């Protein structure tokens, strides 16, 4: 039985698994987007979000220059860096996490990443996914969407979607009609 055991095994030894996820998270922090299998993306997301939270909890300390931090703030910073280095062994990726990514996510309470499903891999038909960090403006767009009242199937959202689909269909029809006219001449 597999009760109360977090994480997936992925048919790898524990050392291989740790190295795999450390490398995936380092690539995610460096490039902000990685393409991997669905199972690896889901597990990487879990570990990456925990690591980002360690950095984000510093909040006020991140804005200060290192020489301006108090002894307590410096200790908190060092502890957070060490906790992040337990998961991500790439020094450059951890530096990028604390300098660029953590300040970006200060206002978010979680959900720093998203998984987008991709078509299957041609060689072995493995389900693929794109794991990416949310951009800076993503946090500002979500509250505006909540202000729209009357969700559901009807309303303005459905009308807007219907208009957009109709415009796309008309554009496709125009594109298809144009080559036929040219071919007849």
Mean pLDDT of successive 10-residue segments in the chain (185 residues)? 90 97 98 98 97 94 92 95 96 96 94 98 97 82 48 47 49 51 48
Predicted confidence at residue 173, as pLDDT, reads 53
Predicted confidence at residue 30, as pLDDT, reads 97
Residue 124 DSSP code: T
Q: Which fold has domain 14-136?
A: 50s Ribosomal Protein L17; Chain: A, (3.90.1030)
pTM over 0.75: no
Domain ranges of the chain: 14-136, 148-185
Residue pair 154/148 in contact (Cβ under 8 Å)? The answer is no
Tokens representing 81 are 């860096």
Contacts of 5 (CB under 8 A, 6+ apart): none
Contacts of 84 (CB under 8 A, 6+ apart): 51, 54, 55, 94, 97, 98
Predicted confidence at residue 139, as pLDDT, reads 54
């Amino acid at each position: 039985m597999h009760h109360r055991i977090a994480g997936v095994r992925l048919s790898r030894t524990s050392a291989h698994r740790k190295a795999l996820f450390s490398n995936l998270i380092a690539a995610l922090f460096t490039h902000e987007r990685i393409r991997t299998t669905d199972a690896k993306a889901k597990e990487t997301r879990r570990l990456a979000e925990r690591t980002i939270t360690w950095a984000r909890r510093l909040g006020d300390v991140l804005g200060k220059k290192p020489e301006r931090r108090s002894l307590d703030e410096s200790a908190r910073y060092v502890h957070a860096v060490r906790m992040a280095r337990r998961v991500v062994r790439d020094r450059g990726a951890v530096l990028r996490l604390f300098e660029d990514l953590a300040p970006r996510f200060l206002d978010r309470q979680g959900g720093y990443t998203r998984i987008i499903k991709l078509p299957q891999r041609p060689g072995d038909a493995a389900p693929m996914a794109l794991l990416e960090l949310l951009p800076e403006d993503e946090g500002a767009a979500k509250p505006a969407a909540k202000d729209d009242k009357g969700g559901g199937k009807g309303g303005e959202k459905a009308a807007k979607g219907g208009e957009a689909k109709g415009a796309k269909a008309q554009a496709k029809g125009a594109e298809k009609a144009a080559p036929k006219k040219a071919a007849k001449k």
